[in-house]
A and B are shown apart, each in its own frame.
Chain A
Amino acid sequence: MGLKSNLHKLKKKYEGTKMAPLFNGFHTFLYMPDEVTHGGTHIKSVDDLKRTMNTVIMALVPCLIFGMFNAGYQHHVALGEISKVSAGFFSGEFWSLDNFLIGLVKVLPLVIVSYVVGLAIEFIFCIIKGHEIEEGYLVTGMLVPLIVPVDIPLWMLAVAVAFGVVIGKEVFGGTGMNILNPALTIRAFLFFAYPTWMSGDKVWVHEAVERAGTPDAISGETILGSLAQNNDVGYSVMDMFNGFIPGSVGETSTLLILLGGLFLIFSKIGSWRIMLSSVLGALAMGLIFNGVADIMPAKFFGLANTPFWHHLLIGGFAFGTVFMATDPVTASQTNRGKWIYGFLIGFISILIRVFNPAYPEGVMLAILLMNVFAPTIDHYVVQGNVKKRMKRLKAKTV
């Protein structure tokens, strides 16, 4: 008698009780359910929602580990204890145990709080409503710690997660019914509720907040922040690409995000249409701004004059495009719709970045905005197709 058959037996015992969804949730996390459909033709596959979600989490793990190293690295560099990386992606200055330990101590609690609070709420709602546990939070729970600053107080994260899961998802009917991406809802809540912890030059480096105002003060402005103030950026393009820059925990390394994105595309979980069109949209808007930078007011000049392709490397654009915009629930469903949806995300995020220096993270707002419009885009794409076919039919019959 192995664990598997024991679990199946236990399942019979719990059937029909109040805790059944809770048990089933853990059960299907470990094994495929033992029931199969009978009769009729069905596509048989083990790629259920949980497997899909786990694939995305696998794509996120490199970003998480890099984020842990980066948290320690930014801290030590700001203190002047180690020199900046000099030898490319595998520099010893970056991949040291010392860096990793700081990151582990700071980032792991974020992951734990995000999962514990989020899953607890999901479980409570499932038990109240009496339906199966939905796995939707598995990915959200991993995304959340990656898109917040490393020093965010844990209770704020807990409040935001509770808000995001309840208001962003459960009120609409749970996983698969939400209009807005829950992870971004959580981030937007934090951003508007506690702006001092989500923006500025103090929050991106561990301990910078505590040291503010003392002789030991350190700071780490993000590249977007420096550009918005027309300051020089102290990072090379390779730094931006590799991710050795201050920013939210897991969104700095464009290289690893790119690898994660390719993994999602090849496992057919993420939509390449959305990713590609979003990049095109950002490049288009970046080019427009480059063209008109000279006639822009001074306060927009820094960001408008940034070479257009840098926009792909800085801020959360890459992370948002690969992991958030492609969320199958909130994105457009039709292929043509995906092109429009992605393009507008890229286009609008750069627009917000440049024109609203107070909200440099345009990609968050752009994706949330397009989430709202995704069903409308789909509607018109489908109607357009219907119209086209009607016309063809008419031409034939005439």
Chain B
Amino acid sequence: MGLLSKKDVALIKDPLADNNPITIQVLGICSALAITAELEAAIVMSVSVLFVLGIGNVVISLMRNIIPSKIRIIVQLIVVAALVIIVDQVLKAFAYELSKTLSVFVGLIITNCIIMGRFEAFALGNGPWKSFLDGIGNALGYGAILIIVAFFRELLGAGTLLGYKVLGDPIEKTGLYAIGYENNGFMIMPPMALIVVGIIIWVQRTRNKALIED
């Protein structure tokens, strides 16, 4: 037996595909719409959620036997808030420009349903190691969708990836723009994020019919 048992592997792998927090559990949609216009922001958001959810799940799991169930939501909020503040301060210190782009959305990780959802559904009933894996898995599943959506939105909407002009320069008319290509302004707008997420859900459920609910 290696470091991870079969069950542990499933904890990480399931949320990446058949139990994806965004496309199957339909959690965390708001942030998926808000910060996926640029790939960089989506990556930073994914990493932040990975940190908050990984650590948060462990902390809640460790405290799960001493939290009175009547006030558990408040305790959970305090844990998330503390972790989010750490992320926010780190971003402000080391990536100030980016933290301005992400603006309120880092703060709003607190309200990201995935985090509260995993605390409630998993960390309160499982040990720290398993909770950690579950947190990492769900954050990765969340991040994967975010990055796929942001990839298409930035590529088609702005013609760039991570700020690099991969399709050529729209003003100097180089690359694809020389033959008349133009950026699709609709991709930058929030409705398109919803539609791209919808297409991902469509593709996923076509490949795996078991996911289709009546």
Listed in ascending order, the chain A residues whose CB lies under 8 Å from chain B are 153, 155-156, 159, 167, 171, 189, 192-197
Q: Interface size of B by Cβ–Cβ distance < 8 Å?
A: 11
How distant is A250 from chain B, measured CB to nearest CB, in Å? 24
Q: Which one, B34-42, B110-118, B184-192, is touching chain A? A: B184-192
Having A153-B180, A194-B184, one finds 17 other A-B pairs with CB under 8 Å, namely A153-B182, A155-B180, A155-B181, A156-B182, A159-B184, A167-B195, A171-B202, A189-B186, A192-B185, A192-B189, A193-B184, A193-B185, A193-B186, A194-B185, A195-B185, A196-B182, A197-B182
A192, B186: Cβ atoms closer than 8 Å: yes
Inter-chain CA distance A15–B40, complex, in Å, is 53
Inter-chain CA distance A171–B199, complex, in Å, is 9
CB closest chain-A residue, reference B202: A171
CB-CB under 8 A from B198, the residues of chain A are 171
Q: Which B residues, 167 to 196, have Cβ-Cβ distances below 8 Å to chain A?
A: 180-182, 184-187, 189, 195
CB closest chain-B residue, reference A194: B182
CB-CB under 8 A from B187, the residues of chain A are 193
- DSSP majority for the A interface? helix
Inter-chain CA distance A194–B189, complex, in Å, is 12
CB-CB under 8 A from B184, the residues of chain A are 159, 193-194
CB closest chain-A residue, reference B182: A194
CB-CB under 8 A from A189, the residues of chain B are 186
CB-CB under 8 A from A196, the residues of chain B are 182
Inter-chain CA distance A153–B181, complex, in Å, is 9
Inter-chain CA distance A195–B186, complex, in Å, is 9
CB closest chain-A residue, reference B195: A167
Inter-chain CA distance A189–B192, complex, in Å, is 10
CB-CB under 8 A from A194, the residues of chain B are 182, 184-185
Inter-chain CA distance A192–B187, complex, in Å, is 9
Inter-chain CA distance A193–B195, complex, in Å, is 14
How distant is B170 from chain A, measured CB to nearest CB, in Å? 11
Inter-chain CA distance A195–B188, complex, in Å, is 13
Q: List 17 A-B contacts (CB under 8 A).
A: A153-B180, A153-B182, A155-B180, A156-B182, A159-B184, A167-B195, A171-B198, A171-B202, A192-B186, A192-B189, A193-B184, A193-B186, A194-B182, A194-B184, A195-B185, A196-B182, A197-B182
CB closest chain-B residue, reference A128: B206
Inter-chain CA distance A155–B184, complex, in Å, is 12
CB closest chain-B residue, reference A171: B202
Of residues B185, B186, B189, B202, which shows the largest number of chain A Cβ atoms within 10 Å of its Cβ? B186
Of residues B180, B184, B195, B202, which shows the largest number of chain A Cβ atoms within 10 Å of its Cβ? B184
Inter-chain CA distance A73–B186, complex, in Å, is 32
Inter-chain CA distance A383–B89, complex, in Å, is 55
Of residues A167, A192, A193, A194, which shows the largest number of chain B Cβ atoms within 10 Å of its Cβ? A193
CB-CB under 8 A from B189, the residues of chain A are 192
CB-CB under 8 A from B185, the residues of chain A are 192-195
Inter-chain CA distance A200–B186, complex, in Å, is 18
Top 4 A-B pairs ranked by shortest CB distance? A193-B186, A192-B186, A193-B184, A193-B185
CB-CB under 8 A from B182, the residues of chain A are 153, 156, 194, 196-197
CB-CB under 8 A from A193, the residues of chain B are 184-187
Inter-chain CA distance A197–B181, complex, in Å, is 12
CB-CB under 8 A from A156, the residues of chain B are 182
CB closest chain-A residue, reference B184: A193
Of residues B181, B182, B187, which shows the largest number of chain A Cβ atoms within 10 Å of its Cβ? B182
How distant is A189 from chain B, measured CB to nearest CB, in Å? 6
